[in-house]
């Protein structure tokens, strides 16, 4: 018996060791497979890594050339792996690719979760304002002002440190568009993005250069040998002048890049620093509760709009003259048949392009977008509810000399709503979760708060748990209410 259990222990140990050795050397694995997989997002666009407009499907950009050059140095081939930009680091961690190479700025938060190589590009943070702006000249002027940037970027950290009201964007075009329209007072982004997407607009100008930053290649924290090999390859490419030639072909070379040629390992250590992981704190929890408040506000207001409009649509489809009823039907099909994400984009970004009078702030736009969308679903629930009320009820109301409107208001609608109520509560729960979509139009609600915090504390676990807990705390009472209402409507009042 003792011998048997010893045998099992040995087998387990061997398995454990075997598992360990297979994840041993990342460099050996890359060499053995002959392929260096690098992660990036083609949506980041020109000049990083993007589809050649004249040859769709072919990837070009200075990072494509850089990846090829590094792979050559390692005697392997480079293979691009498409990945959403905001999730490059988590995807690197779970092994979707060997390195992340896509305009990744060295920030304290990222330095704690990956191993950065030496930088391959030195960028400048540009502070961009409207051409007629006279109040803003430096970073310190931004305190308390609405300033747009990409979430979790270096600029994001800088702006939070000076106490700006930071508006997070996911694309590079929208921050400048909103600045033009006066939704924000300034945008801080790196010079590559600012030059291509911001300063090409005559209505905007450069107010100041507010600091330098570095693009580096990220490897997994434990893949030290791969990190070292890539760092050395990059050093050779830099010293030989090839890096500057690559940058020059994409028209982003500058005098500042000369600094890269004399870059030392000590410089890398100074840049990356030693960052102890920050932890979830009371301040984070408070921000989460704020985010939950925004989620609740957006969903409740949107639901009220959806209920009112949905009822109007259902009544119109049943009782209005045919052409008007048809319009209501078109509305329902249109809003049910297109993604709510698209509707939010159109309402927030699209309308403000049409006319400045149609420009909505982010929160009203979020409420309007979700409300208009859910109204289509609500109207179908109410229509089913109205169909469930027997015709005799309306006959009886007519026989008592009630007008049609009075009969609808007092007899049909109250009964239809009772039938519809469980469905409406269900929709409210769905809306509560769908409201996370409004982060694309810069509203920081609960889910967005969670992703921002996850980057800060370099872990998804606690923020994810807290986020899930808060959603449940909001939706569970609703589902209890729903089943209570269902029971109550079947029984006595």
Phi, psi of 37 (to 5 degrees): -90, 120
Contact between 392 and another protein (CB under 8 A)? yes
Contact between 402 and another protein (CB under 8 A)? yes
Contact between 406 and another protein (CB under 8 A)? yes
Contact between 390 and another protein (CB under 8 A)? yes
Long-range contacts for 88-93 (Cβ within 8 Å, ≥24 apart)? Answer: 88/39, 88/40, 88/41, 88/218, 89/113, 89/114, 89/218, 89/455, 90/460, 91/39, 92/39, 92/218, 92/219, 92/220, 93/220
8/400 with CB nearer another protein = 400
Contact between 486 and another protein (CB under 8 A)? no
189/421 with CB nearer another protein = 421
Which one among 163, 414, 469, 477 touches another protein, defined by CB under 8 A? 414
202/392 with CB nearer another protein = 392
Beta pairing partners, 168: 149
Least Å distance, CB 204 to another protein, is 60
The H-or-E segment that residue 260 falls in is: none
298/407 with CB nearer another protein = 407
DSSP structure class, residue 185: S
Least Å distance, CB 411 to another protein, is 6
**CA 276 to mean position of chain CA atoms:** 26
- Which 416-445 residues touch another protein, going by CB under 8 A? 418
Contact between 400 and another protein (CB under 8 A)? yes
Which one among 87, 124, 278, 415 touches another protein, defined by CB under 8 A? 415
325/394 with CB nearer another protein = 394
DSSP-based three-state secondary structure for 232: helix
Cα dihedral 21, 23, 26, 30 sign: positive
With contact defined as beta carbons under 8 Å apart, do 307 and 376 qualify?
Answer: no
Which one among 12, 396, 465, 468 touches another protein, defined by CB under 8 A? 396
13/398 with CB nearer another protein = 398
DSSP structure class, residue 409: I
Contact between 321 and another protein (CB under 8 A)? no
End-to-end CA distance of the chain: 69
Print the binding letters for residues 230-259 with another protein: x by CB under 8 A, - otherwise: ------------------------------
354/406 with CB nearer another protein = 406
Q: What angle do CA 343, 348, 352 make, to 5 degrees?
A: 125
d(CA 167, CA 184): 8
Least Å distance, CB 373 to another protein, is 30
Least Å distance, CB 391 to another protein, is 9
255/492 with CB nearer another protein = 492
Least Å distance, CB 395 to another protein, is 6
Print the binding letters for residues 82-121 with another protein: x by CB under 8 A, - otherwise: ----------------------------------------
Q: Which range, of 142-150, 163-171, 304-312, 398-406, touches another protein by CB under 8 A? A: 398-406
Q: Which range, of 118-126, 317-325, 347-355, 385-393, touches another protein by CB under 8 A? A: 385-393
Q: Which range, of 65-73, 246-254, 392-400, 432-440, touches another protein by CB under 8 A? A: 392-400
Which residues make Cβ contacts (< 8 Å) with residue 151, sequence separation at least 6?
86, 168, 169, 170, 448, 451, 452
Cβ count within 10 A of residue 352: 20
Least Å distance, CB 318 to another protein, is 19
d(CA 285, CA 7): 49
CA distances from 183 to 122, 170, 423 (A): 30, 16, 37
Least Å distance, CB 409 to another protein, is 9
With contact defined as beta carbons under 8 Å apart, do 90 and 48 qualify?
Answer: no
Least Å distance, CB 400 to another protein, is 4
The H-or-E segment that residue 369 falls in is: helix 362-387
Contact between 131 and another protein (CB under 8 A)? no
**CA 320 to mean position of chain CA atoms:** 42
With contact defined as beta carbons under 8 Å apart, do 128 and 241 qualify?
Answer: no
Q: Which range, of 152-160, 191-199, 333-341, 409-417, touches another protein by CB under 8 A? A: 409-417
**CA 129 to mean position of chain CA atoms:** 24
Cβ count within 10 A of residue 88: 24
182/414 with CB nearer another protein = 414
d(CA 70, CA 38): 11
Contact between 395 and another protein (CB under 8 A)? yes
Which one among 236, 410, 487, 488 touches another protein, defined by CB under 8 A? 410
Cis peptide before 10 (omega within 30 of 0): no
262/391 with CB nearer another protein = 391
22/401 with CB nearer another protein = 401
Contact between 387 and another protein (CB under 8 A)? no
Pairing of strands 186-190, 99-100: unpaired
Point out which residues bind another protein (CB under 8 A).
389-390, 392-393, 395-402, 406, 410-411, 414-415, 418, 492-493
């Amino acid at each position: 018996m003792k011998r048997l259990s010893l045998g099992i222990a040995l087998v387990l140990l061997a398995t454990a060791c075997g598992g360990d050795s297979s994840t041993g050397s990342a460099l050996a694995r890359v060499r053995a497979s002959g392929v260096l997989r690098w992660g990036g997002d083609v949506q980041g666009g020109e000049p990083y890594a993007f589809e050649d407009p004249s040859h769709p499907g072919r990837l070009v950009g200075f990072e494509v050339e850089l990846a090829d050059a590094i792979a050559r140095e390692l005697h392997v081939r480079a293979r691009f792996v498409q990945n959403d930009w905001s999730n490059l680091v988590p995807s690197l961690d779970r092994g979707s690719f060997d390195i992340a190479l896509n305009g990744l700025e060295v920030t304290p938060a990222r330095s704690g979760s990956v191993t950065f190589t030496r930088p391959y590009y030195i960028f400048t943070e540009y502070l961009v304002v409207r051409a007629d702006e006279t109040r803003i000249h430096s970073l310190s002027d931004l305190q308390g002002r609405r300033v747009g940037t990409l979430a979790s970027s270096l600029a994001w950290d800088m702006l939070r440190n000076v106490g700006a009201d930071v508006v997070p964007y996911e694309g590079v075009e929208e921050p400048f568009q909103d600045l033009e329209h006066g939704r924000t007072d300034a945008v801080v982004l790196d010079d590559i993005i600012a030059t291509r997407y911001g300063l090409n607009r005559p209505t905007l100008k450069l107010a100041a250069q507010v600091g330098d930053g570095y693009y580096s290649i990220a490897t997994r924290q434990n893949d030290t040998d791969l990190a070292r090999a890539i760092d050395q390859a990059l050093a050779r490419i830099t010293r030989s002048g090839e890096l500057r030639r690559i940058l020059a072909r994409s028209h982003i070379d500058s005098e500042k890049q000369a600094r890269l040629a004399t870059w030392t390992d000590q410089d890398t250590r100074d840049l990356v620093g030693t960052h102890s992981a920050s932890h979830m704190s009371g301040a984070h929890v408070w921000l989460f509760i704020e985010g939950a408040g925004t989620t609740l506000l957006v969903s409740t207001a949107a639901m009220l709009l959806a209920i009112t409009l949905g009822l109007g649509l259902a009544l119109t489809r049943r009782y209005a003259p045919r052409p008007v009823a048809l319009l209501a039907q078109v509305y329902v099909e249109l809003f049910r048949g297109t993604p709510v994400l698209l509707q939010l984009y159109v309402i927030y970004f699209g309308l403000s392009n049409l006319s400045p009078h149609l420009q909505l702030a982010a929160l009203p736009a979020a409420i309007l977008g979700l409300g208009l969308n859910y109204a289509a679903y609500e109207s179908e629930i109410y229509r089913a509810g109205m169909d469930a009320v027997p015709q005799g009820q309306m006959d009886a109301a007519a026989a008592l000399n009630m007008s049609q409107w009075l009969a609808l208001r007092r007899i049909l609608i109250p009964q239809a709503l009772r039938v519809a109520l469980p469905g409406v509560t269900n929709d409210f729960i769905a809306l509560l979760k769908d409201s996370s979509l409004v982060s694309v139009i810069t509203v920081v609600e609960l889910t967005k708060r969670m992703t921002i915090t996850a980057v800060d504390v370099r872990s998804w676990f606690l923020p994810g748990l807290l986020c899930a807990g808060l959603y449940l705390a909001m939706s569970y009472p609703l589902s209890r209410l729903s089943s209570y209402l269902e029971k109550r409507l079947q029984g006595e009042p």
